[in-house]
Amino acid sequence: MLNDQRKTHPFRLIALGASVILATGFGANAQSYRQVPSPSSNSGSQYRPSGQDYQSKTTPYRAVPQPSAAAPSEPASSAQPAQQLRPAAAPLQPAAAPAAQAPAAQAPAAQAQAQAAPADIQRKSPAPQASAQAARAAVTCMNEGRSIAAEMAIKSCDAIIDETTKNLANAYYFRGLAKADKNDMDGAIGDYSQALKIDASDTDYLNSRAAAYEAKNDLERALADYNQSIKTNPKSVFAYNNRGAAYQRKGDFARAAADYGEVTKLQPNNPDAWNARCWVRAVSGQTQQALSDCDQAIKVKADSADVLDTRGFVYLKLNQYDNAIKDYDAALKRDPKLAGSLYGRGLAKIKKGDRSGGSTDLAAAKAARADIAEEFARYGLKP
């Protein structure tokens, strides 16, 4: 009778084997289901740094929607980050699960972070061999008839528990991504938090929750998660880029510049990282250092409208109007509707005595973006 009670029911063995296979496919093989950092594109506003190289291991990090108004309190700089000409680097957010391979996130000077990064790696389905191994592990764990050494059975069961636990964390994580896609940031934060209770050291979970907090304008909690992510992985481009963007949105340009600087060290061929630091240095009065950063960005990507626009702004701040017009012309050739370049070129023309041409550019800029004049005024640039 005792033996009958201990017998493993076939359906239990099948269920355990299935759970192991699922765990193996969904959570095993550590990095296989996550994406490696790879260059990204632009997101959000045109000034938001493109963070292409900043992707989560799952799918590209997507930029969180930039709050349209209300800059957080206690800015470290007098400049209001409200809707900045040069957006804070777009926070990197993990893209949805395996579906289509989404492009990497962006961030203005931090947006398409240019470091050449490996191509995106999507979560793979469990290979037949892995499934067979999982099934064998289940059989060993169940140890039908006690034909296997207890120690080996324990090790197999331990492996199954570990995989199943990680699988649960990943399920919360991916559901959080889906909720974020629906703009349910509270729900996403709840799921990321559940995943972190299971694995507090996973930087994807931390970065994703931080991005969701940022979408809610809760920059303090976002910064806390980015800080923890960097503490866990001091070489996380994602976390440095996103934390720099959060500081930029707070108006703390010094800290933003420092974080973008870390990105340039990790991804020296990323034009957007150089561009992002160029911008925050320019608006905080470090124009010569800013010009050096923009020049470096141009060396990496000479045809970037964003970088040309930023350097045109730097030249405008330096009263080098001919150089400003030249860069703005080049930027507008690539993107004729760049409000910042139109307005900056208009100011430069007026300073050079071409009031008619300048007024035309200013009007075109205001038509493209109604608050562009107020934005430039915040940085001390008026007609």
Q: What is the pLDDT of residues 32-84, one digit of tens each?
A: 223 222 333 333 222 233 333 333 332 222 222 233 333 333 333 333 333 34
Say which CATH class 12-284 falls into. mainly alpha
Q: What is the pTM of this model?
A: 0.67
Measured CA angle at 259 (ends 264, 105), to 5 deg: 70
The residue-averaged pLDDT of 194-203 equals: 93
**What's the token pair of residue 309?**
């626009």
109: CB partners within 8 A, 6+ apart: 49, 86, 89, 260, 272, 273, 274, 275, 276, 277, 278, 279, 280, 293, 297, 306, 307, 310
**Domain spans, the chain:** 12-284, 287-383
Q: What is the pLDDT of residues 89-111, one digit of tens each?
A: 544 444 333 333 333 333 333 33
Check if 12-284 and 287-383 are the same fold. Answer: yes
**CATH superfamily of the 287-383 domain:** Tetratricopeptide repeat domain (1.25.40.10)
Q: What is the pLDDT of residues 367-379, one digit of tens each?
A: 999 999 999 999 9
Q: What is the pLDDT of residues 328-375, one digit of tens each?
A: 999 999 999 999 999 999 999 999 999 999 999 999 999 999 999 999
